[in-house]
């Protein structure tokens, strides 16, 4: 498999990048680390004739514990001592993204923007052609849900659920200037549409409220192997606690829906309660209850639903100090 | 017995050529750059089963930069590694039988032009209903033409059926204290070697065809090419460059090798075809998806009374090694335990999938898993420690099995004792807290198939040695170094006999123009057979040097020993000389020293139908223990530690043996815990996970520590006492995990891979069964 040919553009500033994207519109993609985009290009998935590199835009690269430039390398953020001290859940979650090599190339912005995934889509051109494609590629029918008009490809990034539970927002730059959107409102349903970015827009930075440092947070990730694999479930929990008393909490699930999925609504009844093994289990069941998970990634929907309950329980035990917060965010 | 004091044998040395490999200096097939080489691409069928109604390549051929296009009609003669099932065409002729089957080959200036050309080839297919799995293949087919292979003798899509009976099984079972039975299911799995298949073919202006190919079986490739292409073998030259792993996945002649050859014969320019990973998954001939029913009986003392095996295996579209697999699923369960009543039925089905074939532990792995789990069930019923029961039932050394396998050296009991004592088995088994467990299993495997695939009197392995005035020893053999270390074995055997160190030895095993025949790297035959041939050749050279030494210094030929590059006179040390001095004299009336040595298996086995299957001049044995714990909420199995003991006769190179054992553990753990080709009825015959991201093999992070114990039973016919260590060590790891899971949570998992979800299902079923 070789890359389809494209013209590479290397803007120096955000404004130049926006101008290029506005000019080429649907004929162009941004590329940061390329660890997601270029894999898809090799599969001839929605490859464009123009690629605009963000690697040359220095403004995007800097970060501290209040803001992370979209172009910051995953590995740099993961190993940063300030991050480890103030927001340890972020380095922990980054530590389970893909592999050591990819984290030295992949960026935080690219991770938030990682394309949705589905067994029927993430395949070679030859493979897709042999099933006549799907809604998200060359075809006109969904291979997962018969007759579906909307794409159910799964949002499979690890960081977004964590950042959403921490109350992060994103700064977006576009032809009309800059705007700030809560990350929880950034993603939009349908595996094709994915997010609210408009024509010519790009992610500039992620802002993290300082209050997040006073919350306890945990991220647990389900996958077959402890390295390399995309999540087939990610559970992020951030909570304001007083010992085992739950004062406030956010739960967000990755890799079970087309977007990161907030389950705050399912846990409101537990706010103000003390968390022990039994209540944590109840929270887990409540979060799993009624979830619709499709059969389009590794591991069966029934199993993943069960694991939503187990992982949520474990996360709540983590944040209330009942279980040591995992050094890495696995299982 | 204290082993003789050797200089080279038994020393842990890095593989010959390994520094070049780890630094990237070594060249593989795809690295070859012959000027003028074209890129070859294969157009593949998008249908699992279809008639080809029309195939028009004219538009593609007209594309500038396209130099040749070939289709099935250009090479209608089918081939296959086994003479009894030559059923695969180079490219589909009037029909295609699996998604990905080659339909046309293109040679073009570059990959882009080739891909453009593929789009211009017009193929009109008439899709027909595919056969998805082996059970479906059992249905009668009214019209023979509708079968996947119309010419077979069965009325359905069966490819092969074998049956064997020994002793009186019904009687044995009826008198047994317990008969443990189970239906076991196994997903198909892939070898996942590192280097994708690659071939460069060049038909030169003198009319000779040269092929460089990543193959384990250069000799079988040589034969198949000669048949398919209609060239005498003498006009074909097969070169095997460095190969990045095979594990059985490169042990057949392949269509792409024929296609590259056909293309270069058409346009007379070198053509290179290198697969991408998806093509590897399509073409790999991995382990058969299988369903196996097994019953094991025992008496009240725990002695095994009988064994019944019924295996149905999914062969995919063509034969490959499948006839052998059909036998191995049964006959290789004849050890390491004595079993005097035995019945076996093996059936292999054709289906519309990429074909299955030989993979490390060929045919023995899946049945072994079932047998060892049922063995533990028997031990539990009898109330005896499974380790003790295995020792009680072990075949002795130097015996014959009920199906006439000649057993020679046998270290299985020592293997069991080693891992039992090292692991703390007696304090752990049945005594660890719920969720934690420990399990044991044994192995038995051939060390070289005694019967060659083709009827011929040519020895199975021949080695040539040549020494000229520089003293360097050039050793020729076509034994395929595929990363397993056979070149190192070859160098070690010759170096030991001549009293040199390995740096004197130059191993040349790439080129069929230079190297004599060795049948190839399969059936764990190379160390045993090539090693013996090498010793014979080296001894022949040593005789010549001895005679020269006598001429120079007097004395008898038997007076001399060869050591440290010296020829030492044991009677009168003052007569000793250097190797170079002796060589100088030996060359004087010879020119160069040359010698040939060869190996041919002894005549073995019974006279019944299928008696040849599983015959080997010797067998390897082993025993592993696995300790693990199960997360009972998630179903994940966490491996704590493996103790692995393997009887390889003699470790010619303990470093290589240890690496093979650890590599086997890694590969077997993948099959037992996560690997599977995922076929889904909605994916229309496509493998759903044809990439190394979606097809999960263990990474270093999942690998547990492995303590390796090498047991040396000193095989009387093995080279320096050696037998195989490349495949047998795979067998015990899977059932040791299965048995450890039972010890941990009380469920016997009968479906591989054992996924977290299946563990939870089994736990739930167990709960329901009890309440
Ligand atoms: C083998 C493998 C395993 C992986 N495992 C994981 C995993 O476990 N978890 C996980 O989360 N990811 C995983 N990934 C995906 C990927 O490596 C990461 O998500 C990575 O963070 C992507 O960042 P990038 O900079 O390489 O993105 P790119 O590939 O450069 O870009 C990804 C997408 O984001 C867009 N984009 C990038 N930057 C911006 C921006 N500033 N504004 C607007 N759009 C932008 C691009 O146009 C593109 O659509 C894996 C990838 C591979 C190949």
Q: Is the pLDDT of residue B682 over 80?
A: no
CATH for B290-451+606-770 is 3.30.365.10
User: What radius of gyration, in Å, describes the C-alpha atoms of chain B?
Assistant: 27
Q: Do A229 and B696 touch (CB under 8 A)?
A: yes
Q: Is the pLDDT of residue A326 over 90?
A: no
Q: Is the pLDDT of residue B3 over 60?
A: no
Question: Could you tell me if A44 lies within 8 Å of chain B, comparing CB atoms?
Answer: no
Domain A59-210 has CATH 3.30.465.10: yes
Is the shortest distance between the CB of A34 and ligand 1 below 6 Å? yes
pLDDT in tens, B418-457: 999 999 999 999 999 999 999 999 999 999 999 988 888 8
Residues 6+ apart with CB under 8 A from B424: none
Q: Is the pLDDT of residue A162 over 70?
A: yes
Integer Cα distance of B457 and B191 in angstroms: 32
**Domain extents for chain A?**
59-210, 214-329
Q: Is the pLDDT of residue B541 over 80?
A: yes
What confidence tier does A322 reach under pLDDT thresholds 50, 70, 90? confident
Assigned token pair, B577: 């000389």
Q: Is the pLDDT of residue B684 over 90?
A: no
Integer Cα distance of B413 and B425 in angstroms: 15
User: What radius of gyration, in Å, describes the C-alpha atoms of chain A?
Assistant: 20
Backbone angles phi, psi at B139, to 5 degrees: -65, 140
Q: Is the pLDDT of residue B354 over 70?
A: yes
Q: ipTM value, please give it.
A: 0.95
CATH for B32-129+194-245+250-283 is 3.90.1170.50
Set of chain B residues whose Cβ sits within 8 Å of the Cβ of A224: 674, 696
What confidence tier does B685 reach under pLDDT thresholds 50, 70, 90? confident
Q: Are B177 and B298 in contact (CB under 8 A)?
A: yes
- The sign of the dihedral angle between the CA atoms of A29, A34, A35, A38 is positive
Nearest CA to ligand 1 atom 48: A37
Integer Cα distance of B618 and B610 in angstroms: 18
Q: State mean pLDDT over A271-297.
A: 96
Least confident among A132-141, A322-331, B109-118, B323-332: A322-331
Q: Are B529 and B518 in contact (CB under 8 A)?
A: yes
Please tell me if the domain spanning B32-129+194-245+250-283 has the same topology as the one spanning B290-451+606-770: no
Select the residue from B701, B753, B758, B763 to test the A interface by mutation, using most A Cβ atoms within 10 A: B701
Looking at chain A, how many residues does it have?
A: 331
pLDDT of residue B771: 47
- Strand order, beta sheet including B751-752: B158-166, B342-349, B304-314, B290-298, B178-186, B751-752
Ligand 1 center–CA A206 separation, angstroms = 15
Of A2, A226, A331, the CB nearest to B701: A226
pLDDT in tens, B64-112: 999 999 999 999 999 999 999 999 999 999 999 999 999 999 999 999 9
Is the shortest distance between the CB of A74 and ligand 1 below 6 Å? yes
Q: Do B46 and A306 touch (CB under 8 A)?
A: no
Buried b or exposed e, range A292-303, using 16+ CB within 10 angstroms: ebbebbbbebeb
pLDDT of residue B2: 53
Alpha-carbon distance A158 to nearest alpha carbon in chain B (angstroms): 17
pLDDT of residue B1: 45
Shortest CA distance to A16 belongs to which of A36, A37, A33, A30?
A30
pLDDT in tens, B467-501: 999 999 999 999 999 999 999 999 999 999 999 99
Nearest CA to ligand 1 atom 41: A203
Select the residue from B683, B685, B697 to test the A interface by mutation, using most A Cβ atoms within 10 A: B683
**Domain extents for chain B?**
32-129+194-245+250-283, 290-451+606-770, 455-599
Pairing between β-strand B178-186 and β-strand B158-166 as defined by DSSP bridges: unpaired
Of B631, B683, B696, the CB nearest to A131: B683
What confidence tier does A330 reach under pLDDT thresholds 50, 70, 90? low
Q: Are A250 and A267 in contact (CB under 8 A)?
A: no
Question: Could you tell me if B755 lies within 8 Å of chain A, comparing CB atoms?
Answer: yes
Topology classification of domain A214-329: Enolase-like; domain 1 (3.30.390)
pLDDT in tens, A169-215: 999 999 999 999 999 999 999 999 999 999 999 999 999 999 999 99
Of B44, B689, B756, the CB nearest to A303: B756
The helix/strand/coil state of B722 is coil
Integer Cα distance of B151 and B142 in angstroms: 14
Closest Cα in chain A to B761: A303
Question: Could you tell me if B639 lies within 8 Å of chain A, comparing CB atoms?
Answer: no
Nearest CA to ligand 1 atom 14: A98
pLDDT in tens, B591-610: 999 999 999 999 999 999 99
Q: State mean pLDDT over B713-723.
A: 98
Q: Do A143 and B682 touch (CB under 8 A)?
A: yes
Backbone angles phi, psi at A165, to 5 degrees: -65, -20
Q: State mean pLDDT over B532-548.
A: 97
DSSP assignment string, B402-421: TT--EE----HHHHHHHHHH
Q: Is the pLDDT of residue B264 over 90?
A: yes
Question: Could you tell me if A300 lies within 8 Å of chain B, comparing CB atoms?
Answer: yes
Closest Cα in chain B to A39: B693
Closest Cα in chain A to B679: A119
Q: Is the pLDDT of residue A331 over 70?
A: no
Of B635, B684, B755, the CB nearest to A131: B684
Domain B455-599 has CATH 3.30.365.10: yes
Integer Cα distance of A319 and A279 in angstroms: 13
pLDDT of residue A327: 44
């Amino acid at each position: 498999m070789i890359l389809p040919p494209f013209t590479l553009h290397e803007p120096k500033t955000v404004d130049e990048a926006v101008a290029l994207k506005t000019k080429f519109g649907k004929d162009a993609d941004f590329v940061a680390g390329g660890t997601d985009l270029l894999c898809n290009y090799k599969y001839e998935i929605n490859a464009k004739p123009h690629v605009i590199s963000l690697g040359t835009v220095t403004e995007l690269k800097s970060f501290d514990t209040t803001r992370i430039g979209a172009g910051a390398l995953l590995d740099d953020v993961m190993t940063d001592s300030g991050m480890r001290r103030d927001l340890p859940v972020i380095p922990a979650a980054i530590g389970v993204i893909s592999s050591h090599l990819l984290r030295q190339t992949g960026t935080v912005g690219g991770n938030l923007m990682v394309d949705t995934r589905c067994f029927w889509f993430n395949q070679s051109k030859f493979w897709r052609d042999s099933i006549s494609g799907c809604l998200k590629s060359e075809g006109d029918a969904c291979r997962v849900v018969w007759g579906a008009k909307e794409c159910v490809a799964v949002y499979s990034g690890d960081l977004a659920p964590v950042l959403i539970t921490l109350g992060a927002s994103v700064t977006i730059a576009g032809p009309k200037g800059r705007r700030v959107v809560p990350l929880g409102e950034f993603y939009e349903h349908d595996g094709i549409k994915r997010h609210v970015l408009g024509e010519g827009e790009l992610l500039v930075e992620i802002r993290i409220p300082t209050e997040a440092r006073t919350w306890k947070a945990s991220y647990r990730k389900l996958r077959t192997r402890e390295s390399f694999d995309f999540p087939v479930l990610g559970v992020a929990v951030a909570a304001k606690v007083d010992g085992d008393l739950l004062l406030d909490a956010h739960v967000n699930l990755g890799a079970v829906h087309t977007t990161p999925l907030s389950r705050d609504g399912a846990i409101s009844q537990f706010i103000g309660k003390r968390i022990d093994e039994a209540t944590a289990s109840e929270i887990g069941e409540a979060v799993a209850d009624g979830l619709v998970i499709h059969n389009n990634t590794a591991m069966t929907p029934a199993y993943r639903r069960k694991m939503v309950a187990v992982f949520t329980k474990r996360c709540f035990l983590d944040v209330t100090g009942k279980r040591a917060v995992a050094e890495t965010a696995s299982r | 017995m204290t082993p003789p004091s050797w200089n080279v044998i038994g020393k842990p040395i890095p593989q010959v050529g390994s520094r070049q490999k780890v630094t990237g200096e070594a060249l593989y097939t795809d690295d070859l750059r012959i000027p003028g080489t074209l890129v070859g691409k294969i157009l593949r069928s998008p249908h699992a089963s279809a008639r080809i109604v029309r195939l028009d390549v004219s538009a593609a051929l007209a594309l500038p930069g396209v130099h040749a296009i070939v289709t099935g009609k250009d090479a209608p003669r089918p081939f296959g590694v086994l003479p009894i099932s030559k059923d695969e065409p180079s490219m589909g002729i009037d029909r295609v039988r699996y998604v990905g089957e080659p339909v046309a080959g293109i040679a073009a200036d570059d990959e882009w032009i080739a891909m453009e050309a593929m789009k211009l080839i017009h193929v009109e297919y008439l899709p027909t209903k595919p056969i998805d799995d082996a059970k479906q293949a059992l249905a009668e087919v009214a019209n023979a033409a509708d079968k996947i292979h119309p010419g077979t003798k069965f009325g359905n899509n069966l490819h092969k059926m074998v049956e064997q009976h020994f002793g009186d099984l019904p009687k044995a079972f009826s008198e047994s204290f317990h008969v443990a039975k189970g239906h076991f299911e196994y997903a198909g799995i892939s070898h996942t070697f590192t280097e994708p298949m690659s071939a460069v073919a060049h038909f030169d202006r003198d009319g000779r065809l040269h092929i460089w190919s990543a193959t384990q079986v250069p000799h079988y490739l040589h034969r198949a090419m000669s048949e398919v292409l209609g060239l005498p073998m003498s006009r074909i030259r097969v070169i095997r460059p460095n190969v990045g792993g095979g594990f059985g996945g490169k042990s057949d002649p392949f269509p792409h090798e024929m296609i590259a050859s056909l293309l270069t014969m058409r346009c007379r320019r070198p053509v290179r075809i290198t697969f991408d990973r998806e093509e590897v998954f399509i073409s790999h001939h991995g382990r058969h998806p299988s369903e196996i029913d097994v019953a094991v009986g025992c008496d009240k003392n725990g002695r095994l009374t009988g064994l019944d095996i019924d295996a149905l295996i999914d062969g995919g579209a063509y034969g490959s090694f499948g006839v052998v697999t059909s036998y191995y699923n049964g006959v290789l369960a004849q050890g390491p335990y004595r079993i005097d009543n035995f019945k076996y039925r093996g059936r292999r089905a054709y289906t519309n999938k990429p074909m299955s074939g030989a993979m490390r532990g060929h045919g023995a792995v899946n049945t072994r898993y079932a047998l060892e789990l049922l063995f533990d069930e028997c031990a539990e019923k009898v109330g005896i420690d499974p380790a003790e029961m295995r020792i009680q039932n072990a075949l002795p050394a130097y015996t014959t099995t009920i199906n006439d396998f000649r057993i020679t050296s046998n270290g299985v009991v020592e293997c069991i004792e080693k891992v039992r004592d090292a692991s703390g088995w007696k304090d752990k088994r049945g005594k660890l807290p719920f969720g934690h467990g420990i399990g044991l299993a044994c192995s038995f495997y051939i060390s070289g198939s005694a019967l060659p695939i083709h009827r011929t009197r040519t020895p199975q392995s021949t080695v040539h040695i040549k020494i000229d005035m520089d003293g360097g020893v050039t050793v020729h053999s076509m034994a395929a170094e595929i990363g397993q270390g056979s070149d190192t074995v070859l160098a070690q055997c010759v170096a030991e006999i001549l009293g040199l160190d390995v740096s004197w030895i130059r191993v040349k095993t790439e080129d069929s123009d230079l190297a004599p025949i060795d049948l190839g790297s399969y059936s764990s035959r190379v160390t045993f057979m090539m090693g013996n041939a090498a010793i014979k050749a080296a001894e022949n050279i040593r005789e010549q040097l001895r005679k020269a030494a006598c001429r120079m210094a007097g004395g008898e030929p038997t007076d001399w020993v060869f050591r440290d590059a010296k020829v030492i006179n044991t009677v009168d040390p003052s007569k000793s000389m250097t190797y170079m001095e002796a060589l100088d004299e030996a060359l004087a009336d010879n020119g160069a020293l040359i010698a040939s040595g060869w190996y041919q298996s002894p005549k073995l086995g019974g006279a019944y139908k299928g008696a040849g299957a599983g015959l080997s001049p010797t067998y390897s044995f082993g025993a592993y223990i696995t300790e693990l714990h199960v997360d009972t909420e998630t179903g994940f199995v966490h491996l704590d530690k493996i103790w692995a003991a393997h009887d390889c006769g003699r470790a010619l190179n303990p470093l290589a043996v240890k690496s093979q054992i650890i590599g086997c553990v890694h590969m077997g753990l993948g099959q037992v815990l996560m690997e599977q080709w995922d076929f889904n009825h909605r994916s229309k015959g496509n493998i759903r996970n044809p990439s190394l991201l979606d097809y999960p093999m263990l990474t270093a992070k999942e690998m547990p520590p492995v303590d390796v114990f090498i047991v040396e039973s000193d095989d009387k016919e093995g080279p320096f006492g050696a037998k195989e260590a490349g495949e047998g060590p795979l067998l015990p790891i899977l059932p040791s995990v299965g048995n450890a899971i039972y010890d941990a949570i009380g469920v016997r998992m009968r479906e591989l891979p054992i996924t977290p979800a299946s563990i939870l299902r089994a736990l739930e079923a167990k709960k329901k069964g009890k309440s």
